[in-house]
Amino acid sequence: MAERARAADHLISRDDCVFIIIDVQEKLMPVISKKEGVVQNVIRLVRFANMAGIPIVVTEQEKLGPTLPEVKKELSSFNPVHKVCFNCFFCKEFRDEISRTKRPTLILAGAEAHICVLQTALHGVMDYNVHVVGDAVSSRTPENRKVALDRMMQCGATITSTEMFVYEILQKAGTDEFRATLPLVK
């Protein structure tokens, strides 16, 4: 029974998480390693979050341009948090947005893995359950992405994937929501 309780503590629920897109911006993404896959997975996650009723918070780092139009068009409401700090928690507007959701689990995606995502995740693990979507984050170099994911995991963040997150929230097949989600994961 104790093993079941521990496993349940690690599962994400749609009612307890918020999806955070960090700095998927026009001036940054062209230099990001494997950017096409990262952007596609961010879009899949936005579409799924919208379907599942999961709140979304978007950040934009100063001087990196707007959020990519293909991501922005998927967002039902778009009011990005503008920041100058790498660690999103150092921005009061971000802390306020997260606090308003009243959700204890942060799902992180975006760029750069070894800078803004890393610093936000490491700060976040002090007060939140932090899950980093490994196939929806990257850096300018694959090496920096790998080191960042390893460090985040060592410090208490859970590394997940787009499909793991989607199926964990769905919990079962055969529902209308499951059928509506299939095009996102195929």
pLDDT at residue 6 tops 50: no
Spatial neighbors of 134 by CB under 8 A, at least 6 apart, are 149, 159, 160, 161
Distance CA 183, CA 176 (A): 13
Count of the separate structural domains present in the chain: 1
pLDDT at residue 9 tops 80: no
Using one digit for the tens of pLDDT, what is the confidence trace for 122-134?
Answer: 999 999 999 999 9
Counting every residue written for the chain, the total comes to: 186
Q: Mean pLDDT for the chain?
A: 94
pLDDT at residue 50 tops 90: yes
Look at residue 41 and tell me if it is in a domain. Answer: yes
Distance CA 162, CA 160 (A): 7
The whole-model pTM stands at 0.94
Look at residue 43 and tell me if it is in a domain. Answer: yes
Distance CA 42, CA 158 (A): 18
Beta strands in 76-146 (DSSP E): 81-83, 105-111, 129-138
Which residues form the domain of 25? 2-50+86-185
Look at residue 63 and tell me if it is in a domain. Answer: no
Using one digit for the tens of pLDDT, what is the confidence trace for 66-103?
Answer: 999 999 999 988 899 999 999 999 999 999 999 999 99
Residue 8 pLDDT: 52
Look at residue 24 and tell me if it is in a domain. Answer: yes
The CATH number linked to 109 is 3.40.50.850
Q: What are the catalytic residues?
A: 23, 83, 116
Look at residue 75 and tell me if it is in a domain. Answer: no
Using one digit for the tens of pLDDT, what is the confidence trace for 54-69?
Answer: 999 999 999 999 999 9
Q: How far apart are the first and last CA of the chain?
A: 35
Q: Tokens standing for 132? A: 């980093």
